[in-house]
Amino acid sequence: MERAEVERHLQALRMEIAHLIRNGEDEEGLRLRALLAELERWEAIRLNGGAAPRGIRSPLSEQTP
């Protein structure tokens, strides 16, 4: 996976988290927790040079064309 692609995913997640917090649309924090977990997974992918670490699957790898 290209580094630029990973960075785009990270940026999109950060923007979505900021939007969620700013607008207070997630009173119970369920969506925020899911987004933070996804952010953590993508950070791990970035640290591994674009390769998903064991036990972590990229959402992109699960999509069908």
pLDDT greater than 70 at residue 1: yes
Encode burial over 7-26: b for 16+ CB neighbours within 10 A, e otherwise: eebbeebeeebeeeeeeeee
Report percent pLDDT > 70 for the chain. 78
pLDDT of residue 54: 59
pLDDT of residue 43: 95
Q: What is the mean pLDDT of residues 27-41?
A: 94
Q: What is the pTM of this model?
A: 0.70
How far CA 35 is from CA of 18, 26, 55, 65, in Å, comes to 11, 11, 18, 24
Which of 1-5, 40-44, 56-60 is predicted with the least confidence, judged by mean pLDDT?
A: 56-60
